[in-house]
A and B are shown apart, each in its own frame.
Chain A
């Protein structure tokens, strides 16, 4: 499975609620970020946690978020936070959205 995103791409984490084991923390769901690097491809923890050990490897990305996008009330809104997220949790983010979410 070749990676769909490249470093510098703007993405957004899916907002979906999932029962069971996932590695995408709640606080980052729905947030916009930028691909910092491709970490490689690994089997999906959502399958590995339920006895499905032979599933396909899924691209994993390190995604960089601005603190202000994650927690608007954060003191250091320009600080960044990196979270490693599997590809099926990410979608492309249009550039305009980025401008809207900038602090006034």
Chain B
């Protein structure tokens, strides 16, 4: 129950400023809206409740250390993999290829 910390004492100050969103964070948000939209052809692909379940199921260290939309993204991948919509291995392969292109780009 890593996530359920309401009422637990803490010495950490709560940051009260909002950081500007990175473009990829906005994309993750937009993707979630599309995936849960009941008006999309074929109906919604997942629910916000499943998003929460996926986030709560992250390993404790990930839950504490990852950023808000990083957790969203990992949860979305896990839920869509459960449903057979996304192949996590294919996704990891594609991410690796993109990283390789980025690091070895010709000027």
Contacts and interface: CB of A to CB of B under 8 A. Distances in A.
Interface stretch (B11-19, B47-55, B87-95): B47-55
A103 interface: no
Interface in A22-46: 25-27, 45
Contacts of A50: 50, 53
Q: Is the interface of A mostly helix, strand, loop or mixed?
A: loop
Interface residues of B, number: 12
Q: Is the interface of B mostly helix, strand, loop or mixed?
A: loop
Nearest to A25: B6
Contact of B53 (A20, A26, A27): A20
Interface string B18-51: 0000000000000000000000000010010110
A53 B45 CA distance: 11
Nearest to A17: B1
Across chains A and B, which 8 residue pairs bring their CB atoms closest together, nearest first?
A27-B7, A48-B49, A49-B49, A21-B53, A49-B53, A45-B49, A25-B6, A27-B6
16 contacts: A21-B52, A21-B53, A21-B56, A26-B4, A26-B6, A27-B6, A27-B7, A45-B49, A48-B49, A48-B50, A49-B49, A49-B52, A49-B53, A50-B50, A51-B83, A71-B7
